[in-house]
Structure 1
Amino acid sequence: MRGLKAALLALALAAPAQAADKAGGIVSVGGAITEIVFALGAGDRLAARDATSLYPEAAQALPDVGYLRALSPEGVLSVGPSLILADQGAGPPETMEVLKAASIPLVLIPDVYSAEGVAAKVTAVGAAIGEAEKAAALAAEVTGRITEATAQAKARAGDTPKRVLFILSAAGGRIMASGSGTAADAMIALAGAENAVSGFEGYKPLTDEAILAAAPDAILMMERGGEHDSPVDELVALPAIAATPAGQARAVVRMEGLYLLGFGPRTGDAVGELSAALYGN
């Protein structure tokens, strides 16, 4: 294993440089982290970003080092970074071990699905890039917006919070849904609703019987293309979905993934938008 790590590190360091004009800059791994760097006025210090970093639009012009959980060390190191900021869930572990051995500062940013978690994320990024004062102001602003949006959501819900089923994928008619402990579960709660399924953690496929038992009032999904996309007509035509209150009312809410689940600077806005979509006001 040690020999493999050494070989990978040597390969990474020998990889051809990309974005030479940004050499020595920051590599940001995690959509929310990239958003925070830009929000702190440090977007021009980024050398590269990962595939989940799609906002703001300027981030998309940066070299892409790969998907958050499937990074290669050579991809990250090829831009010659002076600092790597990475979500705590970045991986795989082998890549993270190589990056830690590369003698380049690597800061893992916590990812907790709450207003306090977003503030901690902003604070950690600010400290890592030398913008602690700006980060303190941004953290306070973001926390305030989330707190206000959550209060408004609870007022909308009143004593009858809606039951919401978050569907990660419906490819081939197979429903992959969120249980507890996920970003989706936390967003549903912040928006004044209840997760329709809570008997497991993470994401799992649901049987038709489980969907019927969940009886969601609304379905929440990410806007996405490709094989994982499910047009509303096809989704509500699935027998198990069609028999639920959500299917009968065609109550399907779709939001851009990073905006909905990123838990970054725009989270308060996302909470407000989701709540309004669920409760109609």
Structure 2
Amino acid sequence: MKHSTRRDTLRFIATAAAATCAAAVWPLRAQTTTAPRLVTVGGAITEVVYALGVEAQLVGTDTTSLYPAAALKTPKVGYLRTLSAEGLLSLRPDAVIGTTEAGPPVVLDQLRSAGVKVELVVADHSWAEVQRKIAAVGRGAARETQARALQARLDADWAVVQNEVAQRTARKPRVLFILAHGASPQVAGQKTAADAMIRFAGGINVMSGFDGYRPMTAEAMAAAAPDVILTSTQGIEAQGGIDKFWARPELALTPAFKRRALVHMDALELIGFGPRLPGTVRVLAQKLAAA
């Protein structure tokens, strides 16, 4: 369930992108002393490229790469789980950087056989994940010094944010994350990006005792008794707006419904775990406290 739900999330994000990769397959160019040509697979990985200021080296991105706006104009190599070796090689990359969700494996093996450096970052919903993404892009772009400088700045901001959240004396809000991108909303349990974000922002995930995602049921809503509902802005849009979101009968059984306590943020920003994470946690903490 966990993997299929994460896949659905990324597919929903990907619908906002509209571009195709070049049709012709070019011979893989020989390694030179010029700056490496990069293809990034994963929205957060692409964000790191722009944060490092090496977007001139970016020759392609996947369809989940929607931020910043300039990323929408890059050639697209398709959805990160259904990549094509032909499409990727047509862009003549020196390196393909993504997460372990990228695939299929046979395509990645074909890239390696063609001499393309492939680096995949393990996602574990931690600050270390962000650090690994920055280091991977630094290596792939041959900009390791810049990557270390960026990491130092972000580490400092992360420490400040953690201290800000820890200093809050108010009662920790009981939060329920709902993935509402489809017709059957699901709730986030442990070992999910949403669970990590709730904890980082000083809240308590009311869904415990299971990993991944489960269907949203009336019984679960009544038992969980969340103070605040957290979801993505895209999920609100998929449900037809805030009023229709609240119209779901399961939500009427929660304290959050009585107060209309709802927080929503952009999906990639909220659960992408990219270089915006410190600022995102700061904003989320403020929103949860005010909800």
By how many angstroms is 1:225 displaced? Answer: 6.7
Question: Percent identity at matched positions?
Answer: 42
Instruction: Check whether the contact 2:180–2:235 (CA below 8 A) recurs between aligned residues.
Output: no
**Paired residue total:** 262
What are the equivalent positions in structure 2 for 1:87-98 lying under 5 Å apart? 87-98=99-110
The match for 1:272 among 282, 285, 288 is: 282
4+ residue runs of structure 1 moved beyond 4 angstroms? none
* SS of aligned partner of 2:76: coil
1:131 matched residue in structure 2: 143
1:21 matched residue in structure 2: none
Determine whether 1:190 maps to 2:190.
Answer: no
Instruction: Check whether the contact 2:65–2:71 (CA below 8 A) recurs between aligned residues.
Output: yes
By how many angstroms is 1:70 displaced? Answer: 2.5
By how many angstroms is 1:159 displaced? Answer: 6.0
RMSD over aligned Cα atoms: 2.3
* SS of aligned partner of 1:52: coil
1: CA distance, partners of 2:221 / 2:104 = 33
TM-score (norm 2): 0.83
Residues 129 and 171 (structure 1), Cα distance of their counterparts in 2 relative to 1, 3 Å cut? closer
2:12 matched residue in structure 1: none
Q: Which amino acid aligns with 1:236?
A: W
2:57 matched residue in structure 1: 45
Instruction: Check whether the contact 1:170–1:230 (CA below 8 A) recurs between aligned residues.
Output: no
2: CA distance, partners of 1:143 / 1:77 = 35
2: CA distance, partners of 1:164 / 1:132 = 39
What are the equivalent positions in structure 2 for 1:143-154 lying under 5 Å apart? 143-154=155-166
Determine whether 1:169 maps to 2:180.
Answer: yes
Residues 238 and 29 (structure 1), Cα distance of their counterparts in 2 relative to 1, 3 Å cut? same
Instruction: Check whether the contact 1:118–1:143 (CA below 8 A) recurs between aligned residues.
Output: no
Determine whether 1:35 maps to 2:52.
Answer: no
Residues 205 and 116 (structure 1), Cα distance of their counterparts in 2 relative to 1, 3 Å cut? same
Q: Unaligned 5+ residue runs, structure 1?
A: 1-13, 19-23
Residues 146 and 74 (structure 1), Cα distance of their counterparts in 2 relative to 1, 3 Å cut? same
1:204 matched residue in structure 2: 214
Q: Unaligned 5+ residue runs, structure 2?
A: 1-21, 27-35
1:16 matched residue in structure 2: 24
1: CA distance, partners of 2:136 / 2:185 = 36
2:270 matched residue in structure 1: 260
Instruction: Check whether the contact 2:190–2:211 (CA below 8 A) recurs between aligned residues.
Output: yes
TM-score (norm 1): 0.85
* SS of aligned partner of 1:270: helix
2: CA distance, partners of 1:159 / 1:65 = 46
1: CA distance, partners of 2:144 / 2:279 = 24
2: CA distance, partners of 1:212 / 1:102 = 55
Instruction: Check whether the contact 1:109–1:125 (CA below 8 A) recurs between aligned residues.
Output: no
1: CA distance, partners of 2:206 / 2:235 = 25
2: CA distance, partners of 1:160 / 1:265 = 29
* SS of aligned partner of 2:149: helix
Q: Which amino acid aligns with 2:217?
A: T
Q: Which string of whole-angstrom CA distances, capped at 9 and with x for unpartnered residues, describes residues 129-158 of structure 1?
A: 2111111111121122222222212333x3
By how many angstroms is 1:115 displaced? Answer: 2.0
